Amino acid sequence: DGGITQSPKYLFRKEGQNVTLSCEQNLNHDAMYWYRQDPGQGLRLIYYSQIVNDFQKGDIAEGYSVSREKKESFPLTVTSAQKNPTAFYLCASSRPGNYEQYFGPGTRLTVT
């Protein structure tokens, strides 16, 4: 059963702590993406990776970091430098090129 998994579903952290969100896919897709969704706003791209060991900043990369050591995995770290980290985070993947993107179930992060 192919798909994208994100864990955990809900995450609570204190201000000033770094936190890592997991994203795993078994679709054999080369490209992976991280988006952030806030109420009343469209999804915004944080980081994307077209291939293992390579990634690029999206529109709102400040305060975030990623790694892409394996094709199946693209973890996102929300650092203490991110001013408004509370949001719904969505991971996606696709074949390389301009193909359909598939999304995971999301992680809701709350920072207090």
Partner 1 sequence: KQEVTQIPAALSVPEGENLVLNCSFTDSAIYNLQWFRQDPGKGLTSLLLIQSSQREQTSGRLNASLDKSSGRSTLYIAASQPGDSATYLCAVNTGANSKLTFGKGITLSVRP
State the residues that interact with partner 1 by CB under 8 A.
Answer: 4, 6, 31, 33, 40-45, 48, 50, 56, 58, 90, 92, 94, 96-106, 108
Structure tokens at 37: 């969704």
- Residue whose CB is less far from partner 1, 7 or 17: 7
- Residue whose CB is less far from partner 1, 84 or 98: 98
Least gap, CB of 16 to partner 1 (angstroms): 27
Q: Is 61 left (phi over 0), alpha (psi -120 to 50) or beta?
A: alpha
The whole-angstrom separation of Cα 6 and Cα 62 is 22
- Residue whose CB is less far from partner 1, 63 or 106: 106
The whole-angstrom separation of Cα 91 and Cα 106 is 7
